[in-house]
Amino acid sequence: MDISVIITSWNGEKILKKNLLKVIASSPEAKEIIVADDASTDGTLSYLKTLTPRFKKLKIISHQKNRGFGYNSNSAVKKAEGDLVALLNNDVIPEKGYLKACLPYFKKKDTFAISFAENKNPHPARIMWQGGFFLHEPWQNPPSPAISAWASGGSAIFNRRLFLALGGFDELFSPFYWEDVDLGYRAWKSGYQIFWDPTAKVDHRHESTLSRFPRSFLNRVKERNQLLLIQKNISDPAMLRHHCLGLIGRCLLGPNYCKVILSAKRRARFFKKEIHQTQAQNYPLTDRAVFQLFKKPKPPLS
């Protein structure tokens, strides 16, 4: 299987100068290494052009207009030549063998993606439904083999055909947050599987451009997109009633949460057609069936 490594970047010249050559050295199995630049205004493109004569595998995709993480990733996956696509943030440095470790999983036709083991968060992702909300956390004691609720949009490898068939990352969640959770959830409901491999190790430095945004803004986007994910994906009537009660509770505890709800409603209006299309899907797995996969293992009886 051919592999394309895709590094998404926006105004990441300094980070790429530190990390890109290390990614190239750690990815000998890759047929191509693509840097997808989302209309950077720094010296990113100039720097990349100095490298292409030396590294024939290195390719550049650049946009004239900044469109956000989801669009940038989807565009690069469409243009990639590999059967598998590894998506890396520009602040992720993989260890040698990270791609090779994932190849056996893709012998199964229903494997959608493998999430890499990040050094500061060496656990697969677990989802749960609590208080009427879709929540997630690192799964400390997962079953074996280690399944994951989703594959990180910045450190994972995907079956390209299935990624495109599911529509990739939904721009509903632009500029960032929850788009990879949404894609993973839709993959599970569609009957595909996502794994996490502890030997596919990467060092995530957390130096991306997100750190430049105010924390208050990042939190608002997270909360808004959490509501959008629920509105788009949850179809179980009892869970939706539970969610309505949860919204009331959060508004009573903090009146500012009403602003989050209004922000989500405004965003949903622009993507009404796309949301309805997802809601109308006849998925093989129900919401409850997917959440059941990630129930915490019960402790042994003492």
Residue 25 pLDDT more than 60?
Answer: yes
Identify whether the C-beta of residue 57 lies closer than 8 Å to the C-beta of residue 18.
Answer: no
Residue 300 pLDDT more than 50?
Answer: no
Q: Please give the mean pLDDT across all residues of the chain.
A: 94
pLDDT of residue 209: 61
- What long-range pairs does 53-58 form, CB within 8 A, spacing at least 24? 55/24, 57/24, 57/30, 57/31, 57/32, 57/33, 58/24, 58/32, 58/33, 58/34
pLDDT of residue 302: 33
Q: Is the dihedral of CA 203, 11, 264, 181 positive or negative?
A: negative
pLDDT category at 211 given cuts 50, 70, 90 is low
Residue 203 pLDDT more than 80?
Answer: yes
pLDDT in tens, 45-69: 999 999 999 999 999 999 999 988 9
Residues in the chain: 302
> What residue type is assigned to position 29 of the chain?
E
Residue 82 pLDDT more than 80?
Answer: yes
pLDDT in tens, 178-199: 999 999 999 999 999 999 999 9
The percent of residues in the chain predicted with pLDDT above 70, rounded, is 96
| Calpha distance 152→139 (Å, rounded) | 14
Assigned token pair, 132: 């009427």
Residue 301 pLDDT more than 80?
Answer: no
pLDDT in tens, 87-107: 999 999 999 999 999 999 999
Residue 262 pLDDT more than 80?
Answer: yes
Q: Which of 170, 277, 295 is nearest to 229 (CA)?
A: 170
- DSSP annotation string for the chain: --EEEEEEESS-HHHHHHHHHHHHHT-TT-SEEEEEE-S-SSSHHHHHHHHTTT-TTEEEEE-SS---HHHHHHHHHHH---SEEEEEETTEEEPTTTTGGGGGGGGSTTEEEEEEEETTB-S-EEEEEETTEEEEEE-SS--SS-B-S---TTEEEEEHHHHHHTTSS-GGGTTSSSHHHHHHHHHHHTT-EEEEEEEEEEEE---SGGGGS-HHHHHHHHHHHHHHHHHHH---HHHHHHHHHHHHHHHHH-TTHHHHHHHHHHHHHHTHHHHHHHHT---SS-HHHHHHTTPPPPPPP-
Residue 267 pLDDT more than 80?
Answer: yes
pLDDT of residue 147: 96
Which residues, in sequence order, are bridge partners of residue 196? 115
> What residue type is assigned to position 16 of the chain?
L
